[in-house]
Amino acid sequence: MAALQRPSMATATASACIPETARGTHVFTVAGYRLHKGLGAGNFIRSSTFTVGGYDWCIRYYPDRYTSDTKRYVAVYVELQSKKSVVRALYDLKLTNQATIPVPPSDLSNNLAKLLEGKKGADVVIKVRRETFYAHKIVLAMRSPVFDTELYGPMWDEEKQCLQIADMEPDVFRALLHFIYTDSLPAMDDDNNKVAADRYAMGRMKLMCESILCKSLDAKSVVATLALADQYHCTKLREACIDYIKLFN
Report the alpha-carbon distance of residue 163 to residue 174 in Å, rounded.
14
Asked if residue 81 lies in contact with residue 59, where contact means CB atoms within 8 angstroms, the answer is: no
pTM > 0.85: yes or no: no
Residue 1 pLDDT greater than 60, yes or no = no
Q: Does the structure show a pLDDT above 70 at 100?
A: no
Backbone phi, psi, residue 165, to 5° = -120, 120
Q: Which of 91-100, 115-124, 136-145, 237-246 has the lowest mean pLDDT?
A: 91-100
44-53, 125-134, 195-204: the lowest-pLDDT one: 195-204
Percent of the chain scoring above 90 in pLDDT: 36
- Where do the domains of the chain lie? 25-97, 108-208, 217-249
The reply to whether 25-97 and 108-208 are identical in fold is no
- pLDDT tens for 121-133 read 999 999 999 999 9
User: So what's the pLDDT on residue 246?
Assistant: 86
Question: Which position has the higher pLDDT, 119 or 72?
Answer: 119
Task: Choose the CATH number for 108-208 among 3.90.1300.10, 3.10.20.590, 3.30.710.10, 3.20.20.140.
Answer: 3.30.710.10
The pLDDT score that the predictor gives to residue 99 is 61
User: What is the fold, at CATH topology level, of the domain defined by 25-97?
Assistant: 2.60.210
Across the range 12-36, mean pLDDT stands at 82
Cα 44 to Cα 65: distance, rounded to the nearest angstrom:
9
For residues 62 and 75, is the Cβ–Cβ distance under 8 A?
yes
Residues 184-207, mean pLDDT to the nearest whole number: 80
